[in-house]
Amino acid sequence: MTVRLTLLCAAARAERDVRFADVPLDERALRQARAVAGTLPTAATLYTAPSQRCRQTAQALGWDAVTVEPALRDIDMGSWHGRTLDEVAASDGPGLVAWMSDPGAAPHGGESVAEVCERVSNWLDGLSGDAGRVLAVVEQAVARAAVVRVLDAPHRSFWNVDVPPLSTVQLTGRDGRWNLRMGAVAGHSL
């Protein structure tokens, strides 16, 4: 049976200084999440990453019976956790450059991009073939890693995948083989 997986990137606060941290959603982000609730396909299985922003997004979508899945957690930022990108660039510029250019680098002591890609790949391949339609609220890093896996792209491609808040990535899979499914324009039938 084919698994139809929709990954929804969690809502996000409108902040200029993005932090490597899990911050609660503001009312604007919650309102935006509620607005997309009716646009998602129905699914028998609902997952969310363990972060506060992912759980709040799932709650805003009206999901009651949702499974918190640790494999969908955000990248572990180690010693950079809680800091802004500008702060990290000022205090550990070479480390930041290494982390963004070498998928195996983890200068912060947390996870490397390659490790996140491997974790997400293992989760995808572990989904039961009879799962049917699955929806999951995930972190941007998880959505990026899923696209890298499905396209069998090199891990260095991770940073070339742009996943805005509340955007979806649709995948179909069977027997460990995954496909990226592009959406049609609403109201247009092919």
Domain of 88, CATH number, reads 3.40.50.1240
Q: Could you give phi then psi for residue 77, rounded to 5 degrees?
A: -90, 5
Per the structure, how many domains does the chain have? 1
Residue 20 lies in a domain: yes
Name which residue leads in pLDDT, 189 or 74: 74
Tell me the per-residue pLDDT of 71-97, one tens digit each, with 9 for 90 and over. 999 999 999 999 999 999 999 999 999
Residue 24 lies in a domain: yes
Query: By the 8 A CB rule, do 94 and 69 touch?
Result: no
Tell me the per-residue pLDDT of 4-53, one tens digit each, with 9 for 90 and over. 999 999 999 887 677 899 889 999 999 999 999 999 999 989 999 999 99
For residue 19, the model assigns a pLDDT of 83
pLDDT surpassing 80 at residue 159: yes
Residue 188 lies in a domain: no
Residue 12 lies in a domain: yes
3-class DSSP state of 63: coil
Structure tokens at 86: 């500008």
The residue type of 31 is R
Residue 23 lies in a domain: yes
Query: By the 8 A CB rule, do 98 and 105 touch?
Result: yes
Structure tokens at 174: 């069977």
